[in-house]
Amino acid sequence: MDNSSEYSERRLQLYHDIKEYLAAGYSKREIARKLHCGRDTVTKYEQRDFNPLCKKEYRSKIDQYHDMIVKLLSAGVSRMDVYMQLKTLGCPIKRTAAYDYMNKIAQRYQIDISIYKSTSSEAVQTRKKLNKYDHITRAGVFRFLWMEKELSEYHQKYIIEKYPVVQELRCCILEFREIFKKKNLPMLYLFIEKYKKSPYKGLSRFARGLEKDIEAVENAVASDLSNGFVEGSNNKLKMIKRTMYGRCSKELLAAKMMYQPRTGNG
């Protein structure tokens, strides 16, 4: 009998114990009492074959790769590379499900997993080649546009000359923010007229969208009032509703979500 990792240790032990007690002439009732199991279990282990009884039952198709995944994650292999290895072994699980499974393993065994960087040999070689050049990541460009993170003068000059749309986007973002800082409606109208004529479709579409909803945009610019509090309350109520979905009655949902002032003298 093969006592490999394909078999459940608990079931193997139970199988051998039941066989030994039966060979020694114990009754099924006595065996069940000694091994703390039911008589039906003893009968099943007496009559059925070894393999279907003792092989591990995997609740998920990825469970059979559990030990391999733990080993790879502990060695610093990224989830993407682990997933690619699973695919080569024929595991049909989707990437999102595989990532969820690996996250649970990492939490259970307290493994610091490599989330962003691939550790495959091809990815490492690619990174080494990139390190030979002076390059800017896409995330760096976005930080420059949205968060005003400074780039070197050389990088700024190169980006603007190579991609003029970046400079146009930067001007658009800064001008739009200035409208709200100064609460200046004439600046808003000039902004819309300017970018409606932009050669870049994204910007012209944005300006036309502002024009279509001009009343709401004017109120947002001129008024200090905001519906942020209302939207925050809506978000809180929706979260409670989704958390309780399928678990609680409508009465409990109403009690948690609706304010009911006390009545009477109490």
For the entire predicted model, the pTM comes to 0.42
Residue 65 is classified by DSSP as G
Output the CA angle 126-131-133, nearest 5 degrees.
Answer: 110
DSSP, collapsed to helix, strand or coil, labels residue 200 as: coil
Question: What is residue 2's predicted lDDT score, i.e. its pLDDT?
Answer: 43
Question: What is residue 142's predicted lDDT score, i.e. its pLDDT?
Answer: 82
Distance CA 94, CA 238 (A): 29
- Whether the per-residue pLDDT at 90 is higher than 60: the answer is yes
pLDDT digits (tens, 9 = 90+) for 151-187: 777 888 888 888 888 888 989 999 999 999 999 999 9
Average pLDDT across the chain, whole number? 81
Question: What is residue 15's predicted lDDT score, i.e. its pLDDT?
Answer: 82
Of 66, 62, 77, 61, nearest in space to 114 by CA: 77
Q: Give me 71's structure tokens.
A: 């080993």
pLDDT digits (tens, 9 = 90+) for 183-212: 999 999 999 999 999 998 999 999 999 999
The separation between CA 16 and the C-alpha centre of its own chain, rounded to angstroms, equals 44
